Structure 1
């Protein structure tokens, strides 16, 4: 009995994309952030970071959920790059004249991104526990964390598929993704908390950043506790993901085979 077409494409995409460069980008950079920024900044932020009005934690404990959230962003970027690479080298066209439909290819890209994201997040959790960082682990916290990672990955996969679909060259795609990488990464709550001393424009930018929602959900689930705000963030994240997914599907349908 044959496996579904999108699963065969998923396996193909994993094999194609499991290379040293991809692994370094997915695991090396977040690990560097976790260890270097964690230890260096903890020496500066000696009083801890307030993650609620009455509780502070070490900077590494604050940082770890943000680094885990970062995996959804990097995995989503891989999905967009995969589509552009296949279009550039003619593989997209060849696959479309084979026993595959466009929906199979789209599902395979999203599936690969989710697999990479979950795997990378698990590795980051293992690294975080070696520092050591104590997480609140329960069935609910695990389910909420997986939800945030999966929905966040689907959101960013959709975003980068849109960019891949409208970009006219690989250089344009890389330029846009690099700019987004720094804007979304550093204008979020992944690396530092937003306080009353944060400039208002930066608070607004961070508050509208999907990466902030993912980081905050993971921080509540793994360090604090799940509250009404956590569920509200999860709902907003899901709605935004649906909007991006629908937009990416529309762009994807208009993509021609070949460049």
Structure 2
């Protein structure tokens, strides 16, 4: 545990770009208050359906941006490993009293903390849009926390897999940006499945971000139902598989 704590401290202090962190907070806030209120004029006063409730679009978007921001934070896992490989730091860490599993654990915990911190900031910043729509409960809070933790592990695992497989910086950036672009916009983070063409609506449910933001919204707006629990099980299975593959990739990565 001491080794993991040391690697966690090192990741948080030395490996995270401060400009990236500022962007992680500023971009979602701007998007919530500009796009949210601008698009709500197109949607109308009826709002967006979430379970049995209809939620104003700014509140709907604010809840979605919590999951979106958590996903973006997870790219840190891939960039940490990529930079360690490129700069020879990975080899240096392994010749010190650190095991690969400790390195993996440090990276995943870093992502979980960063994801929760960025999601918390967006939740606080988006509070004005959530007032009157959010129905905070203990059970709902547990669902939100579950969604963010599993989401951070899943997307962190995907970033780790990509970083261990690619050899060029350009390739890493292109693949990561392309994959996360799909995750971002082929999901319910920005708009509901209602009214979306059939094929695209189906594609939403091949995207783990959809389950994460759906569970988050269900928790925030107290709209937990049977389908929410189905989504909980699906994202748990997907996350476990992604984490297994990421661990396997790290264990097989050549120094």
Task: Determine if contact 2:161/2:246 at 8 Å carries over to the other structure.
Answer: yes
Q: Structure 1 stretch 43-52 or stretch 175-184: which is displaced more? A: 43-52
- Alignment partner for residue 93 of structure 1, among 91, 94, 119? 91
2:247 and 2:18 map into 1 onto residues whose CA distance is: 30
Task: Determine if contact 1:48/1:59 at 8 Å carries over to the other structure.
Answer: no
Q: 1:62: how far off?
A: 1.1
Q: 1:132: how far off?
A: 5.0
1:190 and 1:50 map into 2 onto residues whose CA distance is: 12
1:35 and 1:24 map into 2 onto residues whose CA distance is: 17
Give the direction of change, closer, same or farther, for the CA distance of 1:162–1:170 in structure 2 (3 Å limit).
same
Task: Determine if contact 1:25/1:74 at 8 Å carries over to the other structure.
Answer: no
Runs (5+) with no aligned partner, structure 2: none
Give the direction of change, closer, same or farther, for the CA distance of 1:143–1:54 in structure 2 (3 Å limit).
closer
- State the TM-score, normalized to the length of structure 1: 0.93
Give the direction of change, closer, same or farther, for the CA distance of 1:15–1:93 in structure 2 (3 Å limit).
same
Root mean square deviation, CA, Å: 1.5
- CA offsets 1:11-60 (integer angstroms, 9 cap, x no match): 11000234332213422222222222112112222233332475322101
Map 1:177-192; keep pairs closer than 5 Å: 177-192=176-191
Give the direction of change, closer, same or farther, for the CA distance of 1:112–1:68 in structure 2 (3 Å limit).
same
Q: 1:117: how far off?
A: 0.6
Runs (5+) with no aligned partner, structure 1: none
Q: How many residues align?
A: 254
Task: Determine if contact 1:60/1:133 at 8 Å carries over to the other structure.
Answer: no
Map 1:10-89; keep pairs closer than 5 Å: 10-52=8-50, 54-89=52-87
Map 1:143-182; keep pairs closer than 5 Å: 143-182=142-181
Q: 1:151: how far off?
A: 0.5
Equivalent position of 1:229 in the other structure: 227
- Is residue 253 of structure 2 the alignment partner of residue 255 of structure 1? yes
1:76 and 1:142 map into 2 onto residues whose CA distance is: 21
- State the TM-score, normalized to the length of structure 2: 0.94
Q: Structure 1 stretch 61-70 or stretch 15-24: which is displaced more? A: 15-24
Q: Structure 1 stretch 86-95 or stretch 125-134: which is displaced more? A: 125-134
1:220 and 1:185 map into 2 onto residues whose CA distance is: 19
Q: 1:165: how far off?
A: 0.7
